[in-house]
Amino acid sequence: MVNKNAVFNYEHQFYLDGILLSGVTNVDGGYSIDESPIHIIGKGYAYPVRQGPLVGNFNISKYYIGKDSLLNYTGQDSFSASINYGDASFGFQSGYLSEYSISAGIGQIPQSNASIITYGDFGSGVSSEGSSANPPIQIPNQGSITLNTDGYENNRVSSFSYTMRINREPLYQIGSVHPVQVDIQYPIFQEISVSMEINDYEVDNITSYLTSPKQKDISISFKNPINDHEIETFEIKKSRLLSQSISSSSDDVLSVDLVYNGYINKK
């Protein structure tokens, strides 16, 4: 009798450029091919032709339990990754980080999400398995995560998130179905969202943006709670406050949600 059991979560691994990635909670990936039919007078439908490049997408969700290897690929470098199970694998050979986000709140392990766009080989039989060491596991908690900026000293930050979005532009040449080069389309977009309980914070009038828009440097630091060593820092230079919303209810405290945007230009 043939064994037709499903592959359980503890029976497969996720590799990133030869590193067995730790803390992964969800992975999904796939591709779609865009084609259009050719119609000929006197015959009608003849044959479909491909429209556009061969592109795949991968999404990774994981607990932030130490320095994230994915952040090594915010530049021009590509990387490979795969899901390996038994003697089989599913992955890609050439991927580029298009979006990365991390969120944290009181009493929660920080979580990160990454979106990847792929060019080239994508599917079964593509493996990125290797023996490279994963960065040391260091789990920050609410006491070792710091939001560094002015104006929040008397107001209790309850949660925040950081997002980086990188637009990519593939360049092709005749005779090749894969790009010969993938460039970053600057600027790189950044966003920090902050939720906090209000003590003395005052929401600005919307017209103040026209005369004196709020602009400040903001950074989020993650440290090892055991030895206070810095794990990673996310920073937005000259961020601008573009969204403010205040909320109140009969069974909760007064709170405000703030959104700051910033950009990284090519140096």
| Secondary structure (H, E, C), 146-196 | EEECCCCCCCEEEEEEEEEEEEEEEECCCCCCCCCEEEEEEEEEEEEEEEE
- pTM over 0.75? The answer is yes
**What is the distance of C-alpha 198 from the center of its chain?**
29
Q: Which two tokens stand for residue 120?
A: 């080239």
Q: Which two tokens stand for residue 105?
A: 């709140």
Identify the weakest region by mean pLDDT among 178-192, 203-217, 222-236: 203-217
What confidence tier does 49 reach under pLDDT thresholds 50, 70, 90?
confident
Q: Could you give the count of Cα atoms lying within 13 Å of 8 in the half-sphere of its Cβ? A: 2
Does the pLDDT of residue 212 top 80, yes or no? Answer: no
Q: What mean pLDDT is predicted for residues 63-79?
A: 92
Q: What is the DSSP letter of 239?
A: E
Does the pLDDT of residue 2 top 50, yes or no? Answer: no
C-beta separation of 238 from 190 below 8 A = no
